[in-house]
Amino acid sequence: MRQKVTTLGQFIIERQSDFPFAKGELSRLLRDIGIAAKLVNREVNKAGLVDILGELGTTNVQGESVKKLDVFANDEFISALSSGGECCAVGSEENEEIVSIQNQVNKDAKYIVCIDPLDGSSNIDVNVSIGTIFSIYRRITPSGHADLTDFLQKGTEQVAAGYVIYGSSTMLVYTTGRGVNGFTLDPSIGEFCLSHPDMRIPENGKIYSINEGNYVHMPSGVKSYIKYCQEEDTTTGRPFSSRYIGSLVADFHRNLLKGGIFMYPATAKSPNGKLRLLYECNPLAWIIEQAGGKASDGQGRILELKPESLHQRTPLFIGSSKMVEMAEQFISKQEA
Ligand code: AHM
Ligand code: MG
């Protein structure tokens, strides 16, 4: 018997009743993000051909200008969100300021979107997995242009969050607060199809992911936790395996499926860590919580942090709940 396939579009419509308000609007917004992701995926898949077709920043043989992939992704997502009519402003890693959307389609657009259009910049040119991360909030200003206050909401206020991983296959994973579901792009039909329903992260794992090249610059509590991961102990299955891709989405996705912890702590060079609260940490923090895991800045829940600026950074410890708790314990001992 042929297996029933549920596409992302069908799934979003089936789950509309999950949303406490504005059912159709949020569905359309998610659908627009899915469409832009497919366009970005197409370009990511032919990234290696760019050198044949023309150099970055110039024109290719068809006379089209060749954009850098991260700029292309940013343009593609902003354009999809603009034409969809449900989003009134975008905060993107690629734009210093909020991008206000003049909505011809819908003057009452109620949502704002935070996005890292193409994360893992060091892996773009070398055929290693990269990703898109997004987060959706309801605007809090009543009307007119959205402003920074709409963006400086706590992660607990998110109404949807997700990521796309452009890997050996392309997947879109998202939550609206009722669990986490993953969809794999079937290139033969050009649709994201439900492949990972109700994703759960194991409570404990055997993988730790951190850029150990920064070891000397790390706080002593984090150093002690790394040493703990490396020690021999049969009851806890240590030493754990170290796995670090350098693309947050890819490292996160692997640990979500297998169990593990990803860490990007404060370092002497970056006292607030490297990763951005609004469009990297908050969306993944909500997804991991919805999958049964935890996300912390070392002291407390990421989702409870009150943002103060659009591109704010934070340390991040995210993954299997027991592992994040253990990392927090090592950090609090160091501070005591
Ligand atoms: P980017 O937004 O410039 O791509 O930086 C974010 C990336 C994350 O994907 C990844 O987890 C991290 O930077 C890796 O940083 P590092 O090279 O310092 O280990
Ligand atoms: Mg990024």
Beta carbon of 253 within 6 Å of any ligand 1 atom: no
In the reported structure, the alpha carbon of residue 20 is separated from the centroid of ligand 2 by a whole-number distance in angstroms of 30
For the chain, the residue count is 336
The confidence score (pLDDT) of residue 62 equals: 56
Helix/strand number for the chain, H first, E second: 9, 13
Question: On the CB side of 316, how many CA atoms lie within 13 Å of its CA?
Answer: 29
In the reported structure, the alpha carbon of residue 131 is separated from the centroid of ligand 2 by a whole-number distance in angstroms of 9
Q: Is residue 219 very low, low, confident or very high in pLDDT (cuts 50, 70, 90)?
A: very high
The confidence score (pLDDT) of residue 29 equals: 93
Class of domain 8-196: alpha beta
Ligand in nearest proximity to the CA of 214: 1
DSSP E strands: which ranges in the chain? 87-92, 99-100, 111-119, 130-138, 160-166, 170-175, 180-186, 191-196, 207-209, 241-242, 261-264, 294-296, 316-319
Token pair of 319, please?
């993954």
Ligand in nearest proximity to the CA of 116: 2
More confident call, 124 vs 301: 301
The confidence score (pLDDT) of residue 4 equals: 85
In the reported structure, the alpha carbon of residue 119 is separated from the centroid of ligand 1 by a whole-number distance in angstroms of 7
Q: Where are the domains of the chain?
A: 8-196, 207-335
As beta bridge partners, residue 320 has none
Fold: same for 8-196 and 207-335: no
What is the residue whose two structure tokens read 């990703």?
131
Global confidence as pTM: 0.95
Q: Is residue 15 very low, low, confident or very high in pLDDT (cuts 50, 70, 90)?
A: confident
Query: Which residues crowd ion ligand 2, with CB under 5 Å?
Result: 116, 119
Q: What is the pLDDT of residues 116-137, one digit of tens each?
A: 999 998 898 888 999 999 999 9
In the reported structure, the alpha carbon of residue 278 is separated from the centroid of ligand 2 by a whole-number distance in angstroms of 11
For a ligand 1 pocket test, name from 92, 215, 267, 275 the mutation site with the most ligand atoms within 8 angstroms of its C-beta: 275
Question: What's the angle, vertex CA 300, arms to CA 228 and CA 179, rounded to 5?
Answer: 95
Residue type, 63: G
Q: Are 140 and 149 in contact (CB under 8 A)?
A: yes
The values of phi and psi at residue 192, to 5°, are -80, 125
109 class by beta-carbon count within 10 Å (0-12 exposed, 13-18 middle, 19+ buried): buried
Q: What is the pLDDT of residues 61-108, one digit of tens each?
A: 556 566 789 999 999 999 999 998 899 999 999 999 999 998 766 778
The values of phi and psi at residue 72, to 5°, are -60, -45
Q: Are strands 180-186 and 191-196 parallel, antiparallel or unpaired?
A: antiparallel
For a ligand 1 pocket test, name from 68, 165, 274, 314 the mutation site with the most ligand atoms within 8 angstroms of its C-beta: 274
What is the residue whose two structure tokens read 């392309």?
170
207-335: CATH number: 3.40.190.80
Beta carbon of 246 within 6 Å of any ligand 1 atom: yes
In the reported structure, the alpha carbon of residue 49 is separated from the centroid of ligand 1 by a whole-number distance in angstroms of 24
Residue type, 61: V
More confident call, 56 vs 165: 165
What sign has the CA pseudo-torsion 46, 50, 53, 58? positive
Residue nearest to atom 17 of ligand 1 (CA): 246
Q: What is the pLDDT of residues 28-39, one digit of tens each?
A: 999 999 999 999
For a ligand 1 pocket test, name from 123, 166, 247 the mutation site with the most ligand atoms within 8 angstroms of its C-beta: 247
Q: How many CB atoms lie within 10 A of CB 51?
A: 11
The confidence score (pLDDT) of residue 23 equals: 64
Beta carbon of 120 within 6 Å of any ligand 1 atom: yes
Token pair of 124, please?
């773009």
312 class by beta-carbon count within 10 Å (0-12 exposed, 13-18 middle, 19+ buried): middle
Q: Does residue 16 have a pLDDT over 90?
A: no
What sign has the CA pseudo-torsion 33, 115, 294, 301? negative
As beta bridge partners, residue 262 has 209, 318
Provide CB contacts within 8 A for 41, sequence distance 6+: 164, 166, 170, 185
The confidence score (pLDDT) of residue 41 equals: 95
Q: What is the pLDDT of residues 222-243, one digit of tens each?
A: 999 999 999 999 999 999 999 9
Conformation bin of residue 319: beta by default, left when phi > 0, alpha when psi is -120 to 50: left
More confident call, 61 vs 209: 209
Ligand in nearest proximity to the CA of 117: 2
Conformation bin of residue 62: beta by default, left when phi > 0, alpha when psi is -120 to 50: alpha
For residue 215, CA distances in Å to 254, 328, 329 come to 23, 17, 19
Ligand in nearest proximity to the CA of 209: 1
Distance between CA atoms of residues 27 and 34, nearest Å: 11
